[in-house]
Structure 1
Amino acid sequence: LSKSQVSEMAKDLDCMVEDFRTRPLDTGPYLYVSCDALTMKVREGGRVVKTSVLLATGVNAEGYRELLGMQVATSESASSWTGFFRDLKARGLNEVYLVTSDAHLGIQHAISDVLPNASWQRCRTHFAKNLSAMVPKTQWPTLSAMFHTIFQQPDSESVCSQAKEVVAFCEQKFPHVADYLEEALDELLAFTNTPKSVWKK
């Protein structure tokens, strides 16, 4: 392929990506939204710089996951997330009931500012990674297995009961982990107020 052909193909792709990124979000309501950011290196002005790629997925009216938006920002800041959520809202994101993310304060601030009626759910995958850093590698399989039993329960009452059991277990085996886990339970178990059918979506 010649340089001009590659250039033309890139232009066509840019148009397709832009159309996708700015499309109306008309298959909602998106009651359940998950967001995260990726750090990537890009070339800009002849040099390589780090950027944050903000991403949001949602569960549409048919019950399927859908990529709602992607935005490149200079950093993962409160203002970046706020602008990202405002763009999603302007495109049709509404009636959001629960937003799942890591514990980044910028995300939490943006949620309360732009989606004040939405509850916040702390991502258990990110939290598990934090837990793994608190114990020796040889002990992580045991702690990991116990932690994940919390989310394998059949109903809300059982989830909360098992969470307390895991905290009690940690008090015996990993006292420093017990306090950290107990303080985060409200954030980790926010999903129990949603229908069971969407717990794993």
Structure 2
Amino acid sequence: MRDLLVKISKSSQPWVATLVRTIFDQPDADQVHAQYDRVIAALQDTLPTAADHLAGAREDLLAFTALPRSVRRQVWSSNPQERLHREQRRRSDVVGIFPDRDAITRLLRAVQMEHNDEWTGYRRYTSIETLTTVDAPTATDAEELKTIEPLSA
């Protein structure tokens, strides 16, 4: 959304942000896609640059429609990532000055390992029941994964 708002004037930003939010408020995937088309059409006359930007980002912005509605809220949110970044900043502020790059790398790795243990052990962002509602990969997806060449170091 920020990339889009940078391309338009300050006075138009609230209107465009409201229009884009209406896309995500739709109850099902078909209506989300229809609203996306309506938003692009509304922007085409007044803000063609914004409309072109949205049209180019269609696949990325509407990828969430492949998931069940119960999971979408977790997909939209970046709260766990933001929480991790806040904890890293807090811990590095306590130390203040690091003697070298390796020292800060060790601290940040320790924070990330602690965060991983916490979420693996007793916290869950989504429940197992919710995850089972998400479709398993199809046979064609599995075949595509087999054909991907591994990266070499």
Structure ranking higher in strand proportion: 1
TM-score (norm 1): 0.36
